[in-house]
């Protein structure tokens, strides 16, 4: 049997077996000075093969011992994550890179100087990394998160921690412990709550096994900054695609799956600000006429231009960091408002705008309207 089929069968079996509800402990932790007893309690769970959700600077992660195949299978089960979608391994010490990979290229050193931070490196995996963690690939994704709670937990656990975003697969990523609770209470052992995350979108993923290196997912580290350090780095075509590409052989399997989606249908409108406003209002009116409840995901500069059932602003168009921070939170809020349709404004593809647009395009299922 080929390994990925065997892996799929194992994970499905695990999904069926693990239907029992767990008691999820929720602990408030000081984000600046994590309390030792709380970190110890969380680390004990990790070491026993359990699941702990914890804050990072990007989004909340759902952690398990990255070297324990059974523990990692529990992540897939808790999230309903497709078994071929590999998981990022979080470390607290750069030395661990050389345990997780025996082939670390020279350009990795320069990039590791950006750690701790929102940058994930893909390297050839060493034999200690289980197939469950790599989704059956021969590569491993590694990052050092810039959050005191995350770093303390990894250190105290004394193992690398595999952690995807702590949401149900397909849903918007969690930027607060409450988002994690909504999706995963009863399915995981513990949630460490240190308040809202700083960046709000996931890490930038760079594949260093391809020549030239490629960004597989734009994220918290802007492409412009990455290119200053790695001159020949390219964006994978799917990163900026405004149509669904055929990705049967995606370099990052996560690219194939439905992602970041609120329950409502999301339509993304792209173009200049003036044209955007007219097009969005036209769409709102059209859906209202059909009896639909419509929300607009706007910005501070435009929010007063609309008439709609619910209007929410991501922040000022001058501050992509602010837009990124609010993105997933507002997508979840629209679900609470029970809108049928969300019409979202596109933003320029620069700085964190690239990550924002990547998430919005995917959340829309590439239902994109060009305004002109």
Residue 294 Cβ vs ligand AMP, minimum distance, rounded to whole Å: 29
Residue 202 Cβ vs Mg ion, minimum distance, rounded to whole Å: 6
Judged by beta carbon distances under 5 to 8 A according to partner kind, the member of Mg ion, ligand AMP, none in contact with residue 315 is: none
N- to C-terminal Cα separation, the chain: 53
Question: Which are the contacts of 8, defined by CB distance < 8 A and separation ≥ 6?
Answer: 83, 84
Whole-angstrom Cα distance, residue 52 to residue 68? 14
Pick one of 253, 262, 320, 353: the residue that binds ligand AMP (CB under 6 A): 253
Whole-angstrom Cα distance, residue 261 to residue 364? 7
Residues present in the chain in total: 372
Question: Which are the contacts of 66, defined by CB distance < 8 A and separation ≥ 6?
Answer: 72, 87, 89, 90, 129, 130, 133, 159, 160, 161, 162
Residue 281 Cβ vs ligand AMP, minimum distance, rounded to whole Å: 34
Nearest to residue 199, comparing CAs of 325, 356, 355? 325
Residue 148 Cβ vs ligand AMP, minimum distance, rounded to whole Å: 20
**Nearest CB to Mg ion, comparing residues 134 and 165:** 165
Angle 36-47/148-157 helices, nearest 10 degrees?
A: 50
Q: Does 146 sit near Mg ion (CB under 5 A)?
A: no
Residue 100 Cβ vs ligand AMP, minimum distance, rounded to whole Å: 11
Contact 181, 27 (CB under 8 A): no
Pick one of 165, 197, 204, 358: the residue that binds Mg ion (CB under 5 A): 165
Q: Choose one: 102-110, 160-168, 180-188, 230-238; the region binding Mg ion (CB under 5 A).
A: 160-168
Pick one of 56, 68, 101, 139: the residue that binds ligand AMP (CB under 6 A): 139
Q: Does 130 sit near ligand AMP (CB under 6 A)?
A: no
> Could you give the residue ranges of the DSSP H alpha helices within 52-207?
69-79, 97-100, 106-112, 131-134, 148-157, 177-184
Count residues near ligand AMP (CB under 6 A): 19
* Ranges within 57-86 binding ligand AMP (CB under 6 A): 85-86
Q: Return the structure tokens found at 337.
A: 């408002």
* Ranges within 207-226 binding ligand AMP (CB under 6 A): 216-217
Residue 38 Cβ vs ligand AMP, minimum distance, rounded to whole Å: 24
**Nearest CB to ligand AMP, comparing residues 205 and 296:** 205
Site string for ligand AMP, 90-129 (x = CB under 6 A): --------------------------------x-------
**Nearest CB to Mg ion, comparing residues 153 and 163:** 163
Q: Does 204 sit near Mg ion (CB under 5 A)?
A: no
* List of E strands, 218-336: 234-235, 265-270, 294-298, 310-313
Whole-angstrom Cα distance, residue 124 to residue 11? 23
Q: What is residue 200's three-state secondary structure?
A: coil
* List of E strands, 39-193: 52-54, 61-65, 89-90, 119-124, 139-143, 161-162, 190-193
Q: Choose one: 12-20, 40-48, 138-146, 292-300; the region binding ligand AMP (CB under 6 A).
A: 138-146
Nearest to residue 115, comparing CAs of 218, 43, 220? 220
Q: Return the structure tokens found at 174.
A: 């969690």
Q: Does 56 sit near Mg ion (CB under 5 A)?
A: no
Residue 361 Cβ vs ligand AMP, minimum distance, rounded to whole Å: 14
Q: Choose one: 223-231, 245-253, 333-341, 345-353; the region binding ligand AMP (CB under 6 A).
A: 245-253
Count residues near Mg ion (CB under 5 A): 1
Cβ-closest position to ligand AMP: 254
**Nearest CB to ligand AMP, comparing residues 119 and 122:** 122
Judged by beta carbon distances under 5 to 8 A according to partner kind, the member of Mg ion, ligand AMP, none in contact with residue 216 is: ligand AMP
User: Distance of CA 353 to CAs 7, 55, 144, 218, 356, Å?
Assistant: 36, 23, 23, 9, 5
Which residues lie near ligand AMP (CB under 6 A)? 85-86, 88, 122, 134, 137, 139-141, 164-165, 202, 205, 216-217, 251-254
């Amino acid at each position: 049997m080929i390994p990925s089929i065997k892996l799929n069968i194992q994970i499905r079996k695990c999904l069926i077996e693990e239907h029992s509800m767990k008691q999820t402990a929720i602990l408030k932790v000081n984000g600046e000075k994590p309390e030792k007893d709380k970190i110890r309690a969380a680390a004990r769970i990790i070491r026993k093969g359990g699941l702990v959700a914890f804050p990072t600077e990007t989004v909340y992660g759902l952690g398990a011992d990255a070297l324990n195949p059974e523990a990692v299978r529990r992540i897939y089960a808790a999230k309903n994550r497709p078994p071929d979608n590999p998981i990022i391994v979080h470390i607290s010490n750069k030395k661990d890179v050389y345990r997780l990979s025996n082939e670390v290229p020279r350009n990795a050193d320069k990039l590791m100087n950006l750690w701790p931070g929102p940058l994930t490196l893909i390297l050839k995996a060493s034999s200690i990394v289980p197939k469950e963690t790599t989704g059956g690939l021969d590569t491993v994704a590694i990052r050092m998160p810039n959050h005191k709670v995350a770093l303390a937990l990894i250190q105290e656990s004394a193992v690398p921690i595999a952690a995807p975003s702590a949401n149900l697969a397909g849903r918007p990523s969690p930027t607060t412990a409450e988002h994690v609770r909504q999706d995963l209470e009863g399915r995981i052992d513990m949630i460490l709550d240190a308040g809202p995350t700083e960046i709000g979108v996931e890490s930038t993923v760079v594949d260093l096994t391809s020549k030239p290196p490629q960004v597989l997912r734009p994220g918290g580290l802007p492409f412009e900054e990455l290119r200053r350090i790695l001159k020949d780095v390219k964006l994978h075509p799917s990163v900026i695609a405004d149509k669904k590409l055929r990705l049967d052989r995606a370099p990052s399997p996560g690219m194939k799956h439905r992602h970041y989606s609120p329950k409502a249908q999301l339509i993304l409108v792209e173009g200049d600000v003036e044209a955007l406003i007219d097009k969005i209002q036209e769409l709102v009116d059209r859906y209202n006429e059909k009896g639909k409840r419509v929300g607009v995901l706007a910005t501070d500069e435009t929010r007063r231009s609309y008439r709609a059932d619910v209007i929410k602003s991501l922040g000022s168009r001058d501050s992509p960091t602010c837009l990124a921070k609010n993105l997933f939170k507002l997508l979840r809020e629209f679900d609470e408002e029970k809108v049928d349709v969300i019409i979202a404004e596109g933003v320029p593809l620069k700085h964190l705008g690239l990550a924002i647009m990547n998430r919005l395009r995917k959340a829309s299922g590439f239902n994109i309207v060009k305004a002109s």
